[in-house]
Amino acid sequence: MGSTELPYIATNPKIIFFTDFDGTITLKDSNDYLTDNLGYGYTKRRQGNEDVLSGKATFSVKPGFDECIQVLKENMQLDPYFTEFYYWAKENNVPIVVVSSGMRPIISALFEVLLGHKPDPKHLAIVANDVESRDGKDINSPGGWQIKYHDDSHFGHDKSLEIKPYAALPADKRPTLLYAGDGVSDLSAAAETDLLFAKKGHDLIKYCEREGMPFTIFEDWSTILATTKDIHSGKTSPKKVAEEGLEKR
């Protein structure tokens, strides 16, 4: 595949911003919310979460898919500062790529709530799992849907696959690659980028320190926006941000 075919560099951006969704743009995890409130509950989820993630157990939520989206729209909280980041990035030709092991139609619906309109697909791409009919049923009927995994990897979605072709570009063509995440499943993806924004108070930070991965800590998207602006203008670099982050600790 020639580098000209890579979609996110079509506009020659200085930066591509890859990001996780659940826990990073939302304040809680939407899959967990569904399981706890409409599925088999918190206790069983804690026992079975690994199996759900690895696809060994069926993600079991009773209501139809439409109803699930409605419940999430009413209950999920999103980081209010993401909206400002979205518009700044759009104006400054910084493509946003959401890489998630969640479900694409859910992510899209939640962005619609946050932004007040559908995200512009030329500016914000969603790479995630999909939803399919279970046993030939209508996905909006009770028990009628299941997750259709994006790839065969352990989490149903190896987030690094989306980033690798960009990381491999020759230096004169390769934009700065940034990543925001909150979980250990973000590590392989973040390793392909120049700087990881790691959410405060999560295990991810310990791993970054151990692996010597360049990272900085964020509490919400206002910090991410400020730092990304400075990297974009050349006021700072991912390397400097990572060094300063370590000094502050």
Active-site residue set: 20, 22
Are the CB atoms for 72 and 102 separated by under 8 Å?
Answer: no
User: Residue 21 — φ and ψ, nearest 5°?
Assistant: -110, -65
The single residue among 8, 9, 16, 23 that binds Mg ion, judged by CB under 5 A, is 23
Strands 96-103 and 176-181: unpaired
**Please, what is the minimum distance in Å from the beta carbon of residue 23 to Mg ion?**
4
Task: Give DSSP secondary structure letters for 39-93.
Answer: SS-HHHHHHHHHHHHHTSS-----S-HHHHHHHHHHH--B-TTHHHHHHHHHHTT
Among residues 100, 83, 157, 91, the alpha carbon closest in space to that of 123 is found at: 91
Cβ-closest position to Mg ion: 23
Judged by CB under 5 A, the stretch of 17-25, 41-49, 119-127, 240-248 that binds Mg ion is 17-25
- Element spanning 130, H or E: strand 124-133
The answer for residues whose C-beta is within 8 angstroms of residue 3's C-beta and 6 or more apart is: 9, 165, 169, 170, 173
Q: Which C-beta is closer to Mg ion: that of 162 or that of 182?
A: 182
* Count of residues engaged in binding Mg ion, rule: CB under 5 A: 5
The answer to the question of residue 22 lying near Mg ion (CB under 5 A) is yes
The angle at the Cα of 13, spanning 120 to 79, to the nearest 5 degrees, equals: 50
Are the CB atoms for 221 and 8 separated by under 8 Å?
Answer: no
**Please, what is the minimum distance in Å from the beta carbon of residue 126 to Mg ion?**
14
Q: Which C-beta is closer to Mg ion: that of 9 or that of 25?
A: 25
Q: Which C-beta is closer to Mg ion: that of 182 or that of 192?
A: 182
The answer to the question of residue 79 lying near Mg ion (CB under 5 A) is no
The answer to the question of residue 183 lying near Mg ion (CB under 5 A) is yes
Strands 124-133 and 145-148: antiparallel
The single residue among 20, 32, 79, 158 that binds Mg ion, judged by CB under 5 A, is 20
Judged by CB under 5 A, the stretch of 47-55, 123-131, 140-148, 175-183 that binds Mg ion is 175-183
**Please, what is the minimum distance in Å from the beta carbon of residue 180 to Mg ion?**
10
Q: Which C-beta is closer to Mg ion: that of 24 or that of 228?
A: 24
Q: Which C-beta is closer to Mg ion: that of 9 or that of 97?
A: 97
Residue numbers at the binding site for Mg ion (CB under 5 A) = 20, 22-23, 182-183
